[in-house]
Structure 1
């Protein structure tokens, strides 16, 4: 998904799940910030304090950077959560290991990921960690059929779409960036096709299987599943009994479907701006909402937490305040680090999946 999915759609779904605006805003900001956390340098403060962070994304589009492509600590835990071929942790699927790494929507691995996150619901970074989880959970739908490693299983051949102008743009990008139609990472050869909510497309995957995708249906399925997960959160159901949650109502699904099909600009940023406008105009029947996502500048979480840096002895240092310890930005990175540690240390190994 792009910013319209991870930020505004997540916000709308959170509100439909019964989450208040203040908390839903944090969840949605964090869900999108997973795609923005691309810097892992230490933060130095003027009083000598330091804070360490990790990356959860590499800015697209440079599929030619092999070192970044091979960073399994980014792609696998945050964007292409392995599906273990649909089997629970008690069963080992047949076939090669790569089949276990392929992302699957709402897999048992994803459910166990949500259970892991549920153990942190009383922590001060709970909303931020739920946002991280909603990013990953949503991507199990959008990125289904692909794996977050360099492998021929990600090959995309005979790419076709009902969106002819978009298809031509994709082919132009493939040529411009010298990306072959057998790009080996994730959905590289398909570029942003899986992340566009308004299109249908089909292709032949690296296993020789014909695949047809209706992204609108996939996004609606994702939204409903996310709603159920957040209803578990609201009710403090740490067992994550998603199947017994009501999910989205028919009217809520209809409003979201209308937005997915109507807001169909090729640019994710343009779609995001339109979603924000719809929220302001109360088209989602939540009451007029003035939502924003500022990645830089004085309204950003980052700036509010750190302030303005000064270069001292060749190192950028920030003014220290006790408020940093309870800032949304620090809580996001606390959640990000906790999530990655436990998904790699606990959840995936329970399925016999070890990544590094």
Structure 2
């Protein structure tokens, strides 16, 4: 998903699940911030304090830059959570190890990931961790059948979509072929098709199978599953019995579906702006909502936490404040580090999956 899915759709679904505005705003900000946390340099303060962080994304400026992008600790836990062929932890999929790594929608692995996150609901970073979990859970739907490693299984041939012009189809196929040949990582060779909520498309994968995708239905399935997960959160059901939750009402589902098929620009940023406009115009029956996502500048979590940095003897230093310790930005990074550690150390090994 892109910013319209991870930020605005997540906000709407959280509200439909019964989450209050302020909390839903933080969940949605955290869900999108997973795609923005691309810097792992230490933060140094003017009093000598330091803070360490990790990355949860790379900006995909060039899918063929394999040295920079081939990072299993980013793609596997945060964007292509392994699906173990949809099997529970005591069952091993047939074939090679790659069959464990292929992402599957609402897999048992993702259910166990959500149960792990539920064990942190009493922690100060709980809201941010739920946002991270919603990003990953949503991507199990959008990124299904791809794996977060460079492997032939991610090859894409005969890419086609009814929403593309003839010229665009030719261009897409050429670019897709180039990525497939050089570095079949994640859904790189499928370009942005998995992340466009309005489109239907098809391709032949690296196993020679023809895959047909209806993104509207996939996004609706993701929204309903996310709603159920957050209903568990609201009801303090730490067992994460998702199947026992009602999910979206028919009216809520219809409102989301209308947005998915009406807001159809190829640019996720433009679609996001339209979703924000719809929220302000109360098209989701939540009351008029003035929602924003600022990655930089004074309104951003980062700036509110650290302030403005300045060079001191050639080193960048930030003014230290006790409020940093309880800032949303620090809580997000605390949650990010905790999430990655426990997914890689506990959740995935229970399925025989070891990554580094």
With structure 1 as the length reference, what TM-score do the two structures score?
0.97
The equivalent of 2:157 in structure 1 is 157
Q: Is the 8 A contact 2:156 2:177 kept in 1?
A: no
Deviation at 1:64, TM superposition (A): 1.8
The equivalent of 2:92 in structure 1 is 92
Deviation at 1:161, TM superposition (A): 0.6
Q: Mapping of 1:276-355 within 5 angstroms?
A: 276-355=276-355
Deviations 1:105-155 (A, max 9, x none): 000000000000000001110110000000000000000000000000001
**Alpha-carbon distance in 1 for matches of 2:151, 2:187:** 11
CA RMSD of aligned residues (A): 1.3
**Alpha-carbon distance in 1 for matches of 2:302, 2:177:** 35
Deviations 1:250-304 (A, max 9, x none): 0000000000000001110000000000000000000000000000000000000
**Alpha-carbon distance in 1 for matches of 2:223, 2:88:** 23
Give unmatched runs, 5+ long, in structure 2: none
**Alpha-carbon distance in 1 for matches of 2:311, 2:39:** 18
Q: Mapping of 1:116-265 within 5 angstroms?
A: 116-165=116-165, 168-169=167-168, 171-172=170-171, 175=174, 179-182=178-181, 183-265=183-265
Q: Judging changes above 3 Å, is the alpha-carbon distance between structure 1 residues 196 and 177 closer, same or farther for their aligned structure 2 residues? A: closer
Deviation at 1:69, TM superposition (A): 2.5
State yes or no: 1:107 paired with 2:112. no
Q: Judging changes above 3 Å, is the alpha-carbon distance between structure 1 residues 5 and 306 closer, same or farther for their aligned structure 2 residues? A: same
Deviation at 1:181, TM superposition (A): 3.9
- Give runs of ≥4 in structure 1 deviating > 2 Å: 167-183
**Alpha-carbon distance in 2 for matches of 1:173, 1:39:** 30
**Alpha-carbon distance in 1 for matches of 2:335, 2:108:** 22
Deviation at 1:238, TM superposition (A): 0.7
Q: Mapping of 1:38-49 within 5 angstroms?
A: 38-49=38-49
Deviations 1:229-266 (A, max 9, x none): 00000011111100010000000000000000000011
Deviations 1:311-352 (A, max 9, x none): 011110000000000000000000000000000000000000
Deviations 1:169-193 (A, max 9, x none): 4753675698344441011111100
**Alpha-carbon distance in 1 for matches of 2:349, 2:169:** 37
With structure 2 as the length reference, what TM-score do the two structures score?
0.97
Give unmatched runs, 5+ long, in structure 1: none
- The count of aligned residue pairs is 355
Report SS of the residue matched to 1:211. strand
State yes or no: 1:35 paired with 2:42. no
**Alpha-carbon distance in 2 for matches of 1:92, 1:194:** 27
Report SS of the residue matched to 2:178. coil
